[in-house]
Structure 1
């Protein structure tokens, strides 16, 4: 299987810049975009923050499907492999995410047992993980990914040693969550206290009594009004503007509403996203639901199918342009379109429409609730797709990650 990234030597920062830059370098907006590109060129998402269970249901993902997806933290790719698709092309602009996806796939091929896999990716503070990397995983990794994970920081520690501490405390997202916890504790609130709730009613009470009042604090309202404050969530300036339209005009209220869904709409025993946000770890086996790729019963299936996923350091349009017509059954765009100009959206949907097989499905998320395509993508392209409004709303409500305003499903119409 060919890896498109072998033919493309652009740096992560340049690739991300080409997706993000919409204003001149000397403008305030342009400087903000360039700061985001700089920060986003390192590790952002130690785990993906979209619900793969919702994805797979929306896609009706099954055996033999050919999938194209954006990588992010890679939990989605591994979950999709449980359905035995024919092939998954995994694409990302961020070299750190490429290295993480390749590490996860290599771990499934190389680690001896489900317990070893669970320990490596699911348990914080196990120093045996570094030894497991050296003994089992590193010999199977490509040279570029090995260089990434074995590069040393200013303290002389290899990046891979983060798995011997708590990997999910790293990256921009880990930093953002840690900062949120510090701000809450400065105001006398420990967000981890919600983990003592025994049911949805108790979760709601903790949120209303302890968490909601934080968003009325002057510092919180001031900080969240700055676009750079949300770079840790991987939200670029253009997406910040889309996100704020989904509230009452203040970002504090938007974030409060999203946190309310995460804290109150799903039992903690069923929502590992809430565990990462509030407890800052995954649940222990038997304590609550784990991500699909960490569930013991999925280990052998994912291991057998790991070779069906091919990871590319490229942008989505580049990857699709290299594919034959009618060769893709399922497209997963995450929230990437929130970043795009109208020209970029039309170029993307032109390639999606060209490469879509009969009955193909496209799923994506948006910061605001409505789909962003009408009025921006040409009518000729959109006329070839049907938007399932009712199903999109249903699935959006069930997305346990809770941070997006909308989930959207498009289905290719019959010729």
Structure 2
């Protein structure tokens, strides 16, 4: 089966839960088509929280969902035995393979940072041609060298501000246009010196946006949040935290993003309000881009891999007792009870003694009890301290961070 057809089939299985001609079914199919292209130029979960919650140890074998790959690459700083990633989007697979190859192919840390930290340097495509393309797998090379829109090759995105591309990049750009029309300028926020400055900006500039009638109407449309990677099933879980209304949920999570962490430490806030990391290269970045971690990322990159597969199917081909850590992102919010049970059956089969599973949910409550069979879930212990992990998650978009540990 050609790769594009396989990707469509896998996405359909993951997202489509309603009849094709129903309103929700049509929205699910529109969302799955979106995921055939680039959605996340940057993953929107905090890898520092992941590594703390998983208590990663040197030599651990890690399985994760890749998305934009920042977390997969950041786990390399923990000296893993292996990192095996999956993703249903061929674009995300191509991006992750580009990152893995670049870590060893580019000549030094400065070139690596130009490519993925600045991600807008005119010389980046030449770096790709000279260093990365010769070692990149043929499928990924074909993806990056294909034309997209007005770009002669997709790799040119790295000369034009890569983090402004993809569905998330377009969503953030649209939010900037709406904010500008409302008279909001984010530069004073990015220049904040204290948390008090950040909170004052939110109260004066951002909070009123959530009272704007047009913004409230747009926010309540499921399709409006596709750019955040939120499918219809997850939209409903988010809205439950607001008593059925998504607007107060979005307001509170925007407040957390802007007010609960110093702007000097939160690269997610820079990505949202600067549409890329700090321009001069001195601001916060994911762990894999921190110059202090470059040697570790370069050394362990050969132990990372990614495949364009469903996570459950990939685990079915994996050895028993082989994995110490699993990172599921928020994918379970999309799943039916049968899909959750199949996934946790394979997680349990492949889990080593003391293995940990970390995932996020759009709403606050854990979604597994009552949906995964009691006998299966009883083999795992929900870990204390998950509320603190959620509080420390700088991405701020999720309602809960959850960790289970394997009892055996």
**Same fold flag (TM > 0.5):** yes
Give the aligned partner of residue 248 of structure 1. Answer: 243
Sort the Cα spacing of 1:9 and 1:36 in 2 relative to 1 into closer, same or farther, 3 A: closer
Give the aligned partner of residue 181 of structure 1. Answer: 176
8 Å Cα contact 2:104-2:298 kept in structure 1:
yes
Question: Among 90, 115, 130, which residue is 1:120 paired with?
Answer: 115
Sort the Cα spacing of 1:325 and 1:233 in 2 relative to 1 into closer, same or farther, 3 A: same
SS at match of 2:404: strand
1:313 equivalent to 2:308? Answer: yes
Give the aligned partner of residue 393 of structure 2. Answer: 399
Give the aligned partner of residue 336 of structure 2. Answer: 341
Report the CA distance between 1:381 and its aligned residue.
0.6
Q: For 2:3 and 2:351, how far apart are their aligned partners in 1? A: 24
Give the aligned partner of residue 3 of structure 1. Answer: none
Give the aligned partner of residue 235 of structure 1. Answer: 230
Give the aligned partner of residue 225 of structure 1. Answer: 220
SS at match of 2:348: helix
8 Å Cα contact 1:330-1:360 kept in structure 2:
yes
Aligned residues: 408
**Structure 2 unpaired stretches of 5+:** none
Give the aligned partner of residue 373 of structure 1. Answer: 368
1:292 equivalent to 2:292? Answer: no
SS at match of 2:371: coil
Sort the Cα spacing of 1:124 and 1:95 in 2 relative to 1 into closer, same or farther, 3 A: closer
Q: For 2:74 and 2:2, how far apart are their aligned partners in 1? A: 28
Alignment of 1:70-149 (within 5 A): 70-149=65-144
Report the CA distance between 1:248 and its aligned residue.
3.4
If the length of structure 1 is used for normalisation, what is the TM-score? 0.96
Report the CA distance between 1:126 and its aligned residue.
1.1
SS at match of 2:236: helix
Question: Among 389, 394, 411, which residue is 2:405 paired with?
Answer: 411
Alignment of 1:256-335 (within 5 A): 256-284=251-279, 287-335=282-330
Report the CA distance between 1:155 and its aligned residue.
2.3
Report the CA distance between 1:156 and its aligned residue.
4.8
Q: For 2:308 and 2:66, how far apart are their aligned partners in 1? A: 10
8 Å Cα contact 1:8-1:314 kept in structure 2:
no
8 Å Cα contact 1:81-1:305 kept in structure 2:
yes
8 Å Cα contact 1:87-1:308 kept in structure 2:
yes
8 Å Cα contact 2:114-2:120 kept in structure 1:
no
Q: For 2:180 and 2:7, how far apart are their aligned partners in 1? A: 35
If the length of structure 2 is used for normalisation, what is the TM-score? 0.97
Q: For 2:321 and 2:368, how far apart are their aligned partners in 1? A: 22
Give the aligned partner of residue 52 of structure 1. Answer: 47
1:16 equivalent to 2:18? Answer: no
Q: For 1:14 and 1:184, how far apart are their aligned partners in 2? A: 38
Report the CA distance between 1:98 and its aligned residue.
0.2
Q: For 1:316 and 1:139, how far apart are their aligned partners in 2? A: 29
Q: For 2:144 and 2:119, how far apart are their aligned partners in 1? A: 18
